[in-house]
Each structure stands twice: as structure tokens, then as C-alpha cells.
Amino acid sequence: MSTVGVIGAGVMGKDVALTCAANGYDVILCDSDADVLASAPQRMRRLLRQYRMMSPAVAEWPTDEVLGRVSRTAEPADLAGADWIVENIVEDPEAKRKLYLRLREICGETARIAVNTSCVPITRIASLLPAPHQVIGMHFMNPVPLIDGVEVIRGEHTSDATVKAAEEFAASLGKRPIVVNDMPGFVSNRLSHLFMNEAAFLVQDGVAAPEQVDDVFKLGYGHRMGPLETADLIGLDTVVKSLAVLHDEFQDPKFRCCPLLKKMVDAGFLGRKSGRGFYDYTTSAASAR
């Protein structure tokens, strides 16, 4: 196994591409946005610089060699020969449906598909493809090069062989796979999005400022990041879309989206990627909004 196709060149897709390339895979990074593709090498170089300062293991990754293993394309058809395809596009069920209907014609029954989704059920995605037993969820955590765990989600038709291959693939990237069963949100996001959403309500209701909410969980519970720092890292637009999926799937009001989150997204305050979310990232040190 030597080639990995990575669909989606956003923050998560670039991180997955870097991690695969750093561990010896040839990577084909695919995105329909020409500007995103054009800027990917520069942005990945910058990401590597940041991660090298945060991780001794990443500090050993040879930048030019890693980036040299990543090619780019706007055409999903170019992924036809990949051993694994890791999909990382926007958390929108309809966008995913359209993509997988295209992949149905491209991949046939040979490639294994790793769906890097936050909330969309794996069984539903697998139903769009000719070989549903080859489809599995692989939910990488953000930022991918720094987080050891990968949530591996077994769909209704995922074969034991595919589960084993996914575990081996994760291990080859230096990750520890945690295999769970398919249900919207799985384990991580079914819990974490409630966590982030309620933290936003605390800010909206004037109970605490963002840094106070985060400090309670970092200093009181030993979390590496607080819920609002995590939301800013993921992207508030992604959090809002994921909450919408969870609300639609479960029809449970506990997944109602905090109005403050919607307002911030409407204002373009998406978190780190826009320079402002619950914190301001345009200064050298992030400060709470």
C-alpha cells in the first residue's frame, strides 16, 4: 500500500495529507476549489512550522521531503488507483452524497474509503457505493499531526477485513485506533458538540467569559484545551453544521444550536481560520473576544 487520496484541502485535509506523507505514503490531495489547491503547499509548510514547535516527533519530519510526496488535483477521477481514499469535505450530508455518487463511478470495488466525518452516519454513506463492506469511518482529531487517537467507526456492512486494514492504516500513521459502532456523532462528537454548544450558552447568558469557561476545564479537569478553544480550532461553521446534523438525526432538542454560535458564523467569526472566533487570533497571543 503506497498511495492515499485525500479529498478536501481544508484544515483537516491538509493535516491528513501531511501526516500520511510524513509516514511514507504518496498523497494525492483533491479539492474542487482551485484557489485552495494553489495555496495548499504554502499553507502546509506554515502548518508544519507550527507543529514542529509543538511536537518533538513532528520536528523530525523533513519538510521538503514530506511536501514532495503530496501532489494536487481538482479531479476525483485521479484518485482511481489509490489504496485508501480519505474524505474530509464540508460536514453537509447533501454535499457528501453528491461526492460519493461521483466516487461510485471512479473507485469501483477496489479502494477502501475512510470517511473522516464528525456526525454523518457511515452506513448511509456506504449505501451510495458499490462495495459498502470497504467503507469505514476514520474520524481524525484536530490537529491531526499532534493527536494520537483516531475514532474508527464500523458501519452496518463494514467487513472485519476493512476494520483490520483501518487499524493497520491508523497504526502506520502513528495513531491509536479506537473502534466504535455507527451512530450519528459516534462517541466523540455526540459528546463534544453538546459540550461546546453549552459552553457557548454560558457565554451568551453572561455566566462567564470565554477564557473563564475554558480555564475551568483546563485547570479544574486537566483538559488540554477548553471547549471554546476547541470550537475555534474546529471552526464555528463546522460546529453549527454538525449540531444541525445531530439535531436532524436524533430529533432531540438537546442538540439545538446556541443562537450565539449562529450569530458569530453569520458575522464571519469562524475561529482560527478566519482570525476571530471566541478569541482574537490576529494578535500574537489569542485574547478573548
Amino acid letter, residue 114: A
Percentages helix, strand, coil for the chain, rounded to the nearest 5?
55, 15, 30
Give the tens place of pLDDT for each residue, 132-145.
Answer: 999 999 999 989 99
Residue 57 is predicted with a pLDDT of 93
Give the tens place of pLDDT for each residue, 179-206.
Answer: 999 999 999 999 999 999 999 999 999 9
Give the tens place of pLDDT for each residue, 66-121.
Answer: 999 999 999 999 999 899 999 999 888 899 999 999 999 888 777 899 999 989 99
201 Cβ contact list (under 8 Å, min separation 6): 258, 260
Active site residues: 118, 139, 151, 189
| b (16+ CB within 10 A) / e for 122-143 | bbbbbebbebbbbbbbbbbbbb
Angstrom distance (rounded) from CA 189 to CA 258: 16
Give the tens place of pLDDT for each residue, 195-247.
Answer: 999 999 999 999 999 999 999 999 999 999 999 999 999 999 999 999 999 99
- Name the band, by pLDDT with cuts 50, 70 and 90, for residue 54: very high
pLDDT tops 80 at residue 287? no
Residue 111 is predicted with a pLDDT of 84
Give the tens place of pLDDT for each residue, 149-174.
Answer: 999 999 999 999 999 999 999 999 99
Strand stretches in 82-132, DSSP E: 84-87, 112-115
Residue 107 is predicted with a pLDDT of 82
Each as own residue / partner, the long-range contacts of residues 198-206 (CB below 8 Å, 24 or more positions apart, any chain) are 198/227, 198/258, 199/226, 199/227, 199/228, 199/231, 200/228, 200/231, 200/258, 200/260, 200/261, 200/278, 201/258, 201/260, 203/228, 203/260, 203/278, 204/258, 204/259, 204/260
Residue 142 is predicted with a pLDDT of 87
Residue 109 is predicted with a pLDDT of 74
In this structure, the strands spanning 287-288 and 279-280 are antiparallel
Residue 87 is predicted with a pLDDT of 97
Percent of the chain with pLDDT over 70: 97
What would the mean pLDDT of 31-42 be, rounded to a whole number? 96
Residue 141 is predicted with a pLDDT of 92
pLDDT tops 70 at residue 1? no
Give, as one character, the DSSP assignment of residue 276. B
What would the mean pLDDT of 271-283 be, rounded to a whole number? 94
